[in-house]
Each structure stands twice: as structure tokens, then as C-alpha cells.
Structure 1
Amino acid sequence: MPRRTVPHVEHVTVHGHRRAYVRMGSGPALLLLHGLGCDRTTWAPVMQSLARTHTVIAPDLLGHGQSDKPRADYSLGGYANGMRDLLTVLGIDTATVVGHSFGGGVAMQFGYQFPERTERLVLVASGGLGPEVSPAIRAITTPGFHQAMAVLSAPGLRHAATAALRLLSRSGVRHVRDLGEVADIYDSFKDPRTRAAIRHVTRAVVDWKGQIVTMADRAYLTEAMPMLVVWGADDLVIPVAHASNASALAPTARIEIVPNAGHFPHKDHPERFAKIVRDFIRTTEPAHYDRTRWRELLEEGALRFPVQAEAGESPVAPVHSVRRAAGA
């Protein structure tokens, strides 16, 4: 396929549902998975840079962006299946999977379900590493959210609120830098199908106590797969302390903390982020699935790497191999 240097939205139907995606560049494949309520455009600041050396695939997950928003399976496993089938339709056998926030949970699930198709994992401010999450996300799971957002998404109120959020995001105050993304998510809630889809997605991974999905019981499997964890030092959506959880659960993971960045380090510092990802790929060998070795890890892993936390609880362990991103 000829190299594409300008993002162009394409569509493909998988399992009867139309899915939007952007494909750029050439070379080894990078699958970029966005977070809850976002879409492929969250990766726009880094796509062209990454496409210089890789084939970059950035889809709108089902229920988001220009993809269909059916009443369907919005579980992590369902999303992982959808991404496997999307890659298959596009003729891509293996990829380095990059997931942001909720997309990080999908990336981990993809690597767990399809290790033979996963070369590396890159988790960006990822879910699944501890229970804590912002109250705004927990609120989506509460009864009446759909009805309340129908009122709050009325044109006049929505336009005023999103304008205010975007203005605050440009104020230079670090703790409100992510409000521009929040405004985009809020604006998308004008579509009742989007509200319903986001509610289903959130309830699959979050309850009133926080995140209910954890990688703690399967973290030992990362021994067979290179993993990079990137976090913004000022993240207010999912605490940067969860990067320490990743370090404790997966000692071989590479951890990068990006200073002066919030929940979207790939947008706050796109050049630095792209360099971190490229350096990680350049200095690691892609995982090669070995069925015998995978079985050994499954049989021995619980003894060699005992679960350090119950589901939904953060592991308590000292931080090691955590470092500040280059250029700090």
C-alpha cells in the first residue's frame, strides 16, 4: 500500500458495524487506541512523526467518533476482539499496541488474548493499574447520568460550557490543561447514542468505588512481552502513582514520567512522546509467541510473581526503574 502522509478517514465494516480509522506511513505496525469518550484525533499531534518509520493505525473504537454506536458488547474483551478483526481485515498480522487511558486497558487485554499478534505494549496513563480514577468518570456510572446529560447537552448550555472549558485549558494553569479534551467529550454527548455507549463502556470497568479491572493477576505475563508505561506527572484523571504500580507488577517494564504533562502526555509534549516510543521500539525486540513458554508462564507465574493486590486494590511496593522522560 502506498505511503500516506496526510490523515484520511477510512471506513470498514466488521461484524456488521462500520468502523472509522486512519492509516498512515509504512513499516512495522503501530495500533493507537484512544481513551474513553475520545477518538482517533487524540493522536493527531504524534501520528505524522510516528508514521515516518511505522504503519500507524488509529481507529475510532466502537461507540466513539465516526464509528457506529450500536447496542453491543463494550467490554475490554469485546474491544480486543474488534481490534484483532480490524487488523486482520487490514492485512496486518502483528503490531505494537499503544493504548491511552481506557485504551490502555484494551491494549493489555489485546496482549493477553492475542499474544501471538502483539509485538509490544505501550500504556499511556492507562487504566487497569489501580482503583483510583477521577470523580467525573465515576459519575458516568451513576443512575440518571443519561437523563442528566440530555439536559446538560442542550445547545445553549453545552456551547457556553465547552467554550469556558476550552478557555480555561489555554490559561496556562497546569491543573486545568486537560479541560480542552473534556470539552470535546462533553460536546460529543449531544448524541444520545454516544452517551449510551460511553455509559456501557464505563460500567464495564468502573463502579462507584473506582476501577474494577486490574492487570495484577496477569502482570507476570509481561515477562514475555516488552512493555513501556508513559505518564504525565500532573495527571488528575488517573494518578501518576499508578506508574509505580506498573513498575511493581511488571518489573521488566520501562517507565517514563513526563514532567509538565497531564492525562494526555502525547498532546502536551508530542515530540518528546514520539521520541520515547521510537526509542523503546528501537531498543527492544518484538515479542515472538512461543506456546510452550506461554504455558510455562501460566503454570509457574502465580508462584514466581504472586498477585500483590486483590482486584481493584493498588499493590504496595517500592518504585524501581521509574525515570523522568528525556528532555525534562
Structure 2
Amino acid sequence: MPPSRHHVQHLTIHGHRRAFVKAGEGPALLLLHGLGCDHTTWSSVIDGLARRYTVIAPDLLGHGLSDKPRADYSVGGYANGVRDLLTVLGIDKVTVVGHSFGGGVAMQFAYQFPERTERMILVASGGLGPEVTPGIRAITTPGFHQVMGVLTLPGVRHVGAAGLRGLAALPTAVTRDLAEVADIYDSFKDPRARAAIRHVVRAVVDWKGQIVTMADRAYLTEAMPMCVVWGRDDHVIPVRHANRAAALAPGARIEVIPHSGHFPHKDHPERFVQIVHEFVRSTRAATYSRARWRRLLENGPADPTGDVAPVVPLTAVAGDAGA
């Protein structure tokens, strides 16, 4: 992965070394990266956010500079892990921001630990529908580990990564995210990272697509402010999943950023920082009430099947002309 622009700290929790960046002062923001990425995916927004917030950006277990053991790589296991990291850091409550797979972890964290979650921001998040790029589904197939071992041999890897970065430089929306894909591909040279990613993907994706969904628990967002950010040109997880989020959680704020792909926080960092700050500034932090949580669980969703009615297509948010 790219070298970090920020000071990386380490803590050992449950016998595993965990890397993280902590910057700034103020209300806490927990930034959770996506599959195969690490804290450097947030590099372009950490400084802007740290002007107003305490930013914690960990490398999830199996990623980046954190250990890559044979361990629990489920979304629930990751939620427990970031809870324990926050506890050791002495941080009680956070606004949790999750990108892609990290969005699934963010949702699970908010579900498991509502008393520690003030708000939730999902960025091109998993868990909102089955569709996902075939490249991620391929990780679940037999032989992936061995084939990727060959494809990441020094000469092959360098040519492949250079090709992906070259395609990313083309002025087309289809290839916009390939520079980030090249970084992920390069990280697969470590067999421990490949094994960890395989375990992660198999826990949330099968050959049909995403398995894990927030549909049956979306009604719980009634008790928590939620914002969904997506790039209009996302070819990893389609932007229509933002539309589904709007139907599942009608109180959610939806921000679709034009001229942006699967990494809107990297494509338009200033816009992303502005969206996060405006959302935090204009919403009241959730206050956990066991009685209210119990009532929501007892009443359940309006539609217990988790199905949603079709809704009109999303339009871009105000300010698109300046993007």
C-alpha cells in the first residue's frame, strides 16, 4: 500500500498488533477502510477532518500494517475489534464512518454497540444489496489463493500494477478506480494478506453476490442519524444501492457525488470533508435508551420481509455544478 502521510501507532490487543492513525481533537470520528485497503485510503481527508475532530483510522486486522493472523474475520469480529481499540484509547463514543466493506463493519458496530455510536456515515457501503463487482466474487472461488500467488510474483505483479495504473489515467469513468485496485493487487503479494482477504470475502460474499444485508435491521436507524455517500460512477458497488438505503432508512441523508467512483473521499476530498462536517454539525448525536431500543426490537420493521418498494431515482445533491 502507499506509504502513510500520518504517524502510525500500534497497540497489541488480544495478542495481535493493530496499527492505527490518531489525529486532531474534538468529537471522535472512527474511519473504517474497505476490503484490501488500509488507513491510507483516508489520507486525503484526515487532515481536513482533524481540524475539528479526533480522527481514529485503524488498519483492520488482516490489512495494512496490522497483524494478519488466522482469526475471526467476520463483520461481527471486526466490530468487536474496533470496540476494543476504542476502549484502550479511552474513547467512549464515535461517529462511525465506513467505506465499502468498512461500511458493513460500521453498520455492525452501530448494531452491536448503539450506546457507543453517535452517528453513522456509510461511503459506497456493502450490505445494501447483493450486487458487487465480479472481481470481488472471484476471491471466493477455489484456487484464488494459488492463482494470485502466481500473479503477484515480482515481474508479473509490477507489470500488472503498472497496467492498471495506466488504465486509471484514461479519461473514462469505467477505469477511474483502477489505481486503487492496483494498490490492493500489490498488497496480495503477502500470502497472509491473501488468506485474510479470502476469509473476509467468504464471510460476506458468495458466487451470487453479497450475503450480509442491513435490510432486516434498517428500522433501528430510526434511533441514530445516518448519512450515505456514493460516487455516481461507482463500478464496484452500484450507486443504486444508495437508492435502496433511502428506502430502507427514510430518515437517512443521501449524498451522491458526480464525477466520482468507488472512492468518493479520494476523488473529492474537500467535498467529502464538507459533507461529514455538515452532517455532524446539523444532527444531534444519538443517545442510547435501552427502553427505546427494546421497543424498536419488539415492534420490528414495518415490512418484516425486508423488502422495499421501488423509489424514484436519486438525483445529485445541491452543489453538483461545482464538483
Please state which band the TM-score falls in when normalised by the shorter chain.
over 0.9
- Alignment-mate amino acid for residue 285 of structure 1: R
- In the alignment, what sits opposite 1:82? 81
Decide whether aligned partners of structure 1 residues 33 and 170 sit closer, same or farther in structure 2, where only a CA change above 3 A counts: same
State yes or no: 1:220 paired with 2:219.
yes
The match for 1:110 is 109
Shift of 1:141: 0.3
Aligned to 1:177: 176
Corresponding position of 1:133? 132
Provide the C-alpha distance between the structure 2 equivalents of 1:267 and 1:86, rounded to a whole number of angstroms: 25
Q: How many angstroms apart in 1 are the aligned matches of 2:281 and 2:17?
A: 34
Deviation digits for residues 185-223 of structure 1 (CA, Å, limit 9, x no counterpart): 000010000000000000000000000000000000000
Of residues 301, 304, 311, the one that matches 1:318 is 311
Q: Distance in 2 between matches of 1:260 and 1:323?
A: 11
Mark the runs of 5 or more structure 1 residues left unpaired by the alignment.
Answer: 1-5, 310-314
SS in 1 for 2:238: coil
Q: Does 1:186 align with 2:185?
A: yes
Letter in 1 for 2:149: A
Q: Against the structure 1 CA distance between its residues 114 and 103, is the aligned structure 2 distance closer, same or farther, given a 3 Å change threshold?
A: same
Change (3 A) 1:305 1:94: farther
Task: Give the deviation of 1:307 after TM superposition.
Answer: 3.4
Equivalent AA in structure 2 for residue 308 of structure 1: G
* Deviation digits for residues 256-309 of structure 1 (CA, Å, limit 9, x no counterpart): 00000000000000000110110000000000000000000001123x353333
Q: What is the CA–CA distance in structure 1 between the aligned matches of 2:220 and 2:6, rounded to whole Å? A: 35
Residue of structure 1 equivalent to 2:66: 67
Separation in structure 2 between the aligned mates of residue 167 and residue 71 of structure 1, nearest angstrom: 35
For the structure 1 residues 305 and 52, does the alpha-carbon distance in structure 2 shift closer, same or farther, using more than 3 Å as the test? farther
How much is the aligned-residue C-alpha RMSD, in angstroms? 1.2
Once the two structures are TM-superposed, the CA of residue 317 in structure 1 deviates from its matched residue by: 2.1
Say if 1:129 and 1:322 are closer, same or farther in 2 by CA, change over 3 A.
farther
Change (3 A) 1:321 1:185: closer
Pairing partner for 2:306 from 302, 305, 308: 308
SS of the residue corresponding to residue 67 of structure 1 reads coil
Question: How many residue pairs are counted as aligned between the two chains?
Answer: 317
Residue 175 of structure 1: SS of its match in structure 2?
coil
> For 1:131-159, what per-residue CA distance to the aligned partner results, in whole angstroms no more than 9, with x for missing partners?
00000000000000000000101100100
* 8 Å contact kept, 2:205–2:212: yes
Q: Which residue of 2 aligns with 1:207?
A: 206
Alpha carbons 1:9, 1:21 under 8 Å: kept: yes
| Partner amino acid, structure 2, of 1:223 | E
Alignment CA distance shift 1:320-1:94 (3 Å) = farther
Q: 1:169 to 1:298 in 2, by over 3 A?
A: same
- Aligned to 1:91, what secondary structure does the other structure show? coil
Aligned to 2:54: 55
Q: 1:226 to 1:196 in 2, by over 3 A?
A: same
Per the TM alignment, residue 322 of structure 1 is displaced from its structure 2 partner at its CA by 6.0
Could you tell me how far apart the structure 1 residues matched to 2:58 and 2:310 are?
36
Alpha-carbon distance between aligned partners in 2 of 1:12 and 1:22, rounded to the nearest angstrom:
11
Closer, same or farther in 2 for the Cα pair 1:62/1:293, shift >3 Å? same
Q: 1:154 to 1:186 in 2, by over 3 A?
A: same
2 CA distance for matches of 1:151 and 1:178? Answer: 23
Query: Quick one: percent identity of the two aligned structures?
Result: 72
Letter in 2 for 1:279: E
Contact 2:34 2:102 in 1 (8 A): yes
Report which stretch shifted further, 235-244 or 164-173: 164-173
